[in-house]
Each structure stands twice: as structure tokens, then as C-alpha cells.
Structure 1
Amino acid sequence: MVDRSLTGHEIILDPHDTIQSRTDTRGVIDLANHTMVRISQYSREELIGAPHSIVRHPHMPRSAFYAMWQIIQGGDEFFGFVNNRAKSGDNYWVFVRVAPRTSASGEVTGYSSVRIRPKREAVEEWSKIYADILAVEQKYPREEQVQAGYQAIQKAMRKRGFRHLTDWVMKSV
């Protein structure tokens, strides 16, 4: 069994670090670059064939990933800030772009993801946003958490004057 404890130590990506991965349509990793291996602290063998959620940090609201899946399954690119968990229990923040990969006929065959170091101000802002969303999720039974959190994301987005999640995220870049 994998130790899922947290260390409280944050890995801060170098400005030149670019984490790249590719998944199938279910989110199972089929490509991970050397930077992903180094930062995540998983071996390439541990990453390939694993769900991308292997690096999911427990302080990330499930509804944030639901929002991402809604966007990419609709054929659009997703941009966001994500707190990931390394194998050791350390965490690392990334600014992410996830895009659908398509066949010559236009069928979605998987997703590509590129992650870079975010600005510190964005990490501070999105840490608070995600803590608020996670608090909403935790008020509900597990089967209702994603929908409650997604509604909280929509409400927070509208409160700040944004109609689309991408617009909200990109103002922090």
C-alpha cells in the first residue's frame, strides 16, 4: 500500500521546469517526461499505466477536476492551478494546460498536459479558493460533494464577474 501521508514541505518548480504527460481518454498515463518523474518522485514505471490522479493532493477539491473534465471532454483546452502531491508526501503547485488529442477523423484519443511553475501570488489566491471549495464539499455526503463543489465554483466565478472558468484562471497568470 502506498503511503498517502503529507509532509507539509512544498517543492517549488524551477522557472525552466516543464512537466509533460499524456493520458488516454480515461486519464490513465501513457507518457511522462523526465521532469514529471523527477518532481513527482514516482518512477516512470510507476506512472505509466497509473491514473493521473496518482499525483492528486487531498487538499484539491474533487469538483475542480470535475470542472476540468467538463471542459476537456467538450473539446476545449483547460487552464488551471493545481496542487499536486509527490510520492514522498511533498506538494508542488503547477499552472496547467490540458488539451484533447484527436485522431485524423477528429475523435478524441486522449489528453496532453503541460505544467509549469505558477506565480506565487496565484498559489496564494488559489490555495484560498480551493480551501473554500473543499469546505463546501466536506459539508455533504461523498456522493453529493462534487456537485456541491462545482456549484460553489460557479458561484465564486460569477461573484468575481467571470462567465467562464478560463477567464477567471487566466487573470491570475
Structure 2
Amino acid sequence: MTRAATPRKPQARSQARIDSILDAARTLLAEQGVASLSIYSVAERAGIPPSSVYHFFASVPALLEALTADIHAAFRASLQAPIDHDQLTTWRDLSRIVELRMLAIYNADAAARQLILAQHGLTEINQADRQHDIELGQLMLEVFDRHFQLPALPDDVDVFALAMELGDRVYARSVQLHDEITPR
């Protein structure tokens, strides 16, 4: 009987190279957008041969999926950060804290805005974002459940994942109209 292969954590040198590639891609994405990103431009920005980029990322969509996962890791961390329950009067207070944390990530990371909020039409990235929104929705449910007694939620709709998606659509519209996420 064969066992499924489990992904190994990259060695320190490999991880440093991956980080360098992702940093270069993030910078290029912020400066030029998705359409102009290529394995060769990332390699040039990172100061490494294109073959090294291909070694870790077989294609631009694979590279963008890794960046999307990295961005969503920041969103996960923001949901897992402590919240002082004593400062919450209503669920709206908690909702505002969560929203401000998400906005801080978007405002600090032009690549996040490009990947998640821009209309680039890359199916792989949109699917990865959707999956991440489902995971973030589950985390948000847990956060709200820790602080408030929640009503019965529908089984056929993931309310918190839907909230994540709707928030992104509102922010995307703001970026489309104003080139930034504007205050409400």
C-alpha cells in the first residue's frame, strides 16, 4: 500500500529563494499589474535565472496563486489576532474591528488590491480567492461566535464567506472608480 506524499517544508535556502521570488512578483504586481507579469520579469527583478523561478513556480498563475495564499495568510492572522471583548458593545463593533483590519492589509499591500480586487479575469486566482474566502468565513464565524451568541444560521448559505465576498466586491468597485478603497 502506498502512502500519499506529504509536502515537505522547503529547506532554508530554498525558502529564501521562494521568498525572493514572491517579493519580486509582489513588487512588479504593485507597479505594473497582473497583465505585465511574466516569469522572466520576476526573475530579472529577483536577480536570479528564470530557470530558478520555474523550479518553484511552473507558471505565472502558479506564482499568483502562491501570492494569493500569502495575502490570505495575512487576512487569517488578522482574524486570529486578539480582540478585547470589553470594547465590544454590539456585533457591529466586532464587525468594524474586522473590517478595519482587512482594510489595513489592502491599504498596505498594492499586490493584494491587484490580485483580489482588480478585474484580471484569471480563473485560477478567482477560484483560489473563493476557496480562501470560504476558509476566512469559517474563521470569522468562530470570531463572532467567541464574542456573541449567534442566531441559527442557514445551512444553504455560508453567511460569513458571503460577507467576505461582498466586502471584496464593494472594495473592488471603489478601487475601480477611485483607484483606492475610499472611506464609507
TM-score (norm 1): 0.31
Higher relative contact order (CA 8 A, sep 6+): 1
Larger relative helix fraction: 2
Larger relative strand fraction: 1
User: Which entry has the higher C-alpha Rg, 1 or 2?
Assistant: 2
